[in-house]
Structure 1
Amino acid sequence: MSDDAAIRTPLLSLRDIGKSFLGVRVLDQVDLDVAAGEVHAVVGENGAGKSTLMKIVSGAHAPDGGTLTFAGAARTFRGPRDAQRAGIGIIHQEFNLLPERTVAENVYLGHEPVRRGLVDRRAMHRRTAELLGSIGETSLPTDVPVGQLGVAQQQVVEIAKALALDVRLLIMDEPTAALADHEVELLYGLVRRLTERGIGLLYVSHRLAEVFALSNRITVLKDGRRVCTLDTTETTVDELVRHMVGRELSSYYPERAAPDDVGPVRLTVRDGGNRKLRGVDLELRAGEVLGIGGLQGSGRSALARALFGVAPFTSGTVTVDGTTRALRSPREAIRAGIAYVSEDRKGEGIVARQSVLDNALLASRAVRMRVRSGHAARTVRVRELLSAVELRAAGEDQEIRFLSGGNQQKVVLARWLALSPRILLFDEPTRGIDVGAKAVVHDLVRRLARDGAAVLMISSELPELIGMSDRIVVLRDGRIAGELPAGAAEQDVLALAVGAVRETAG
């Protein structure tokens, strides 16, 4: 934490920053300061301008107007390398690492130490180890290919890579989006060690709990403008949400299903197994949201992928609406009335260079719908759904890669809803999207259940898992560790996830 005097002496100062793309105003007269040793969080709904502002600070975009002052001097960056040379680094949500190269080779990529005209590998590994040690990471080997590391360790490599460039300001864009809960704590420690060294941090996150845990100040952006800058200790989550979305959120989660609202069993798994799952017994009923919890690698995603035929069960039986199904491919799963929203939105959920409409029509075009309808009818249906999910886009012909994460997710949801599925598998449906878009997704999930669909929802966020679920099944090491009722305590979910209890809780 920085004291007030330090915060009044900014390391970075932005004044009246503006930016437009194709005549659309994305940033409008934005002011922001960051001090050395301060964590300054930037929050806002998807499309608020956060990413564009970070790209301006890191040199990827030039502002249309306004001034950027860094370390006491006005700056005009001609590109990211200019910003790096000035002492500004950025860690993107999607890491920029070469998986086949070692930790040391990634850390010093492009500025390797040289001795007698050759890369001095001994010096490179020694310096990398020193950098890692300076942030408390003494056990990470420097000669291992980055592709063999976990997500949390890759993030450490990204931080060391920035430190190797002598950064004074580090931008972290959704740094915990791909981390499991136990890995988030490791990041918290890294952030604190960076600020103790006097490095200023611009911290972009949708997870308000970590914003309050780490930041000194919070700036709220909405529709490209700065709404306010607040001292973290002098505001609340409710106040912050009100500034972000422009309305009160009386409840973060819609009302759960009443016992009478839950219908017959839609999906049954008995002794299901494959390379990642063993002895899975599961029932999913119409009208309910069944939450799936567990640590990363516990088998949560493997379960969804098995049910959708991506990596099918090789043992056991699956019954859908009373009929035994093999579900050996996604096509078979879709024909059985199952839809799947993957956790990997960019890799598996969208085709980045296709339009919004083409992305929304992918599933309808790939399989024969149960109710025969022509292309025109399918298109009308998809357009109605895009409106229903409150999509914000320039138009249906806009390439989906230019949409915010939350709006991309809405397109994916509309795609599957067009098939009127009876069973929906949601894997991290709100990962990387803002609080306003989360509310839309939560309401949609609950509405689908009320209309008779059976919903299986995987979430790493315990408040979301507990707030949305009518029941919670927790996986550990590819097996079901236990089941918990609606409203279970976070510690009970974690206890099952880590094996601190032996028997199923009821």
Structure 2
Amino acid sequence: MAKLSLSGVSKAYGATLALRRGDLDIEAGEVHVLLGSNGSGKSTLCKIVAGSVRPDKGEVLIDGRPVTISGPQAARALGIGIFYQELSLSEHRSVAENICLADLPGKSGIFVDRAALEARASRYIALFAGVAGEGFSAEALVGNLRADQRQLVEIMKALSSEAPVIIFDEPTSALDRAQVDRFFEILRQLKTEGRGIIFISHRMDEITAIGDRATVIRDGETIRTLKLSETDPAEMIRLMVGENSDLPSAEHELPAAGPSAGAPLLSVRNLSGKGFRDVSFDVLPGEILGFGGLHGQGQSAVLRALFGASSISGGSLELSGRSLAVANPRSAIRSGLAYVSGDRGRDGVIQGRPIVENAAPIHYLKERLLLARPSALRDKVLPALGALHTKFASLAHPIGSLSGGNQQKIVIARWLIERPEVLLLDDPTKGIDLAAKADLFNLIRQLAAEGMAILLYSSEDAELLGNANRILVFNGGAVTRELTGADRTRYNLYQAAYEAA
């Protein structure tokens, strides 16, 4: 009997179907791998199991009994633990407190029992003795730890649930080889105890090293479950990609080859920083260079570093043959770089302010303006908004009155008033409708045709395959492969992302 079973589970967010049909069986004593591209439905399926998302339809069984997982607490009560890819730690609490956060031992009904807390946490800290690194202790504040150490705390937190079923969503992404090896030793021990493990990883070597079976999810549907000992990486990737893996995006024809000769506009050599290492590439005027690979492999980190939003620890930059130093976004803007984030709430929109103010800040910065006549500002802003077919009632209306797609158009339009030399696009279509996406990519291709150099990261494969002249595939913070010409296929994109070559 399966320890956990899902049958016909689905979830929609308005018109968006995140999970069409999720089927999954987790046996006692196995590591069951979930495979699928960005947006395939893996995370939605895991969130349903963990109780953070309620399914619209379908059945969930634990040890053969139908259950309703009404929330995270209900999931814990039913014996389900989870490691989230987005760490859920409290930076101002200690390692021990974070490990036991879901169930802090009490004393006298009011206070935390510090001795019991330390004793419980020490059991899980001891599992990683010798590989956790300097400064890692029960008393250390999580906010003072390195990225790999914080990830270990999140793993310990999941292990402390002692749940019969535990979900690990990309738990090794920040760990070094010694830490991964130790973690896999722990997983093998959990298997002998009869636990059921759901495991998601972007590394094919890890999948084949620790997994027993794998379920492939594509476009929101469970495609197939297979034994890893009886298949190979190429077959898994074919199942993830589907039949038409060698065809370009249906949304656009293959883009023109782009410029093949001439001096690079932007040259990057051995660039390293938080989340990426030794990244090198050139971008020619008029070229769209795509950043591909699974989500969170360093693509966004590189773009933010180029824009001065995060620090660079090594490497060099040249713009038009001259050395380039970007200390902060202001210096990047004045050097001719622009940045558009898909997270417009964090990185783009100025909430509570009118549309005109949201469209004009780069113009103010480049022209060093303190004041501007409304009519002159309107004359600058309207052509840029018109180029993106932006819908709005008045420039005086607050930006919050617009749809998400039109808000993103405002954020992009601000860069069209004072044209940059290099445009950095960090998953720019996240959360916007198809019509807005079409407007955006029509403009991107037009800007490239006019000689602008464009770096495009997208979590949607079709957007890269349909618009980028070349694609650099990222894995673990480094570029693992460059795809050009006829090699720009979904299959090759997945193969490089999962290191199956």
Is this contact kept in 1: 2:303–2:426, CA < 8 A?
no
Aligned residue in 2 for 1:71: 63
Is this contact kept in 2: 1:170–1:201, CA < 8 A?
yes
Identical-pair percentage: 33
Aligned positions of 1:20-169 closer than 5 A:
20-22=12-14, 25-117=17-109, 118-134=111-127, 140-169=136-165
Q: CA deviation at 1:190?
A: 4.3
Distance 2:162 2:315 in 1: 55
1:294-337 alpha-carbon deviations (Å, 9 max, x no partner): xxxxx999986665344689999976325676655435534544
Aligned residue in 2 for 1:221: 217
Aligned residue in 2 for 1:367: 362
The match for 2:482 among 456, 467, 475 is 467
Is this contact kept in 2: 1:337–1:422, CA < 8 A?
no
* C-alpha spacing 1:333/1:119, structure 2 compared with 1 (3 Å): closer
Question: For residue 429 of structure 2, what is the amino acid of its counterpart?
Answer: V
5+ unaligned residues in a row in structure 1: which ranges? 1-8, 293-298, 383-393, 401-406, 449-456, 470-489, 491-506
Distance 1:265 1:378 in 2: 27
Question: For residue 284 of structure 2, what is the amino acid of its counterpart?
Answer: A
* C-alpha spacing 1:352/1:182, structure 2 compared with 1 (3 Å): farther
* C-alpha spacing 1:289/1:32, structure 2 compared with 1 (3 Å): same
Aligned residue in 1 for 2:422: none
Q: Report whether the alignment pairs 1:192 with 2:188.
A: yes
Aligned residue in 2 for 1:6: none
Aligned residue in 2 for 1:478: none
Is this contact kept in 1: 2:131–2:178, CA < 8 A?
no
Aligned residue in 2 for 1:330: 329
Is this contact kept in 2: 1:132–1:138, CA < 8 A?
no
Question: For residue 378 of structure 1, what is the amino acid of its counterpart?
Answer: A
Aligned residue in 2 for 1:480: none
Distance 1:459 1:40 in 2: 25
Q: Secondary structure at the match of 1:40?
A: strand
Is this contact kept in 2: 1:338–1:422, CA < 8 A?
no
Is this contact kept in 2: 1:62–1:78, CA < 8 A?
yes
Which sits farther off after the overlay, 163-172 or 138-147? 138-147
* C-alpha spacing 1:347/1:163, structure 2 compared with 1 (3 Å): farther
Is this contact kept in 2: 1:340–1:425, CA < 8 A?
no
Aligned positions of 1:333-352 closer than 5 A:
333-334=332-333, 336-339=335-338
* C-alpha spacing 1:84/1:274, structure 2 compared with 1 (3 Å): closer
* C-alpha spacing 1:35/1:325, structure 2 compared with 1 (3 Å): closer
Which sits farther off after the overlay, 222-231 or 439-448? 439-448
Question: For residue 411 of structure 1, what is the amino acid of its counterpart?
Answer: T
Q: CA deviation at 1:173?
A: 1.9
Distance 2:273 2:476 in 1: 26
Is this contact kept in 1: 2:33–2:198, CA < 8 A?
yes
Question: For residue 59 of structure 2, what is the amino acid of its counterpart?
Answer: T
Aligned residue in 2 for 1:378: 387
> What is the aligned residue count?
410
TM-score by length of 1: 0.63
5+ unaligned residues in a row in structure 2: which ranges? 249-253, 292-297, 368-379, 392-402, 410-424, 431-436, 485-495, 497-501
Kindly report the root-mean-square deviation, in angstroms, between the aligned alpha carbons of the 2 structures. Answer: 5.3
Distance 2:182 2:261 in 1: 40
1:443-468 alpha-carbon deviations (Å, 9 max, x no partner): 744349xxxxxxxx794448843435
1:61-98 alpha-carbon deviations (Å, 9 max, x no partner): 33333321113432212211011012101111111110
TM-score by length of 2: 0.64
Distance 1:12 1:352 in 2: 45
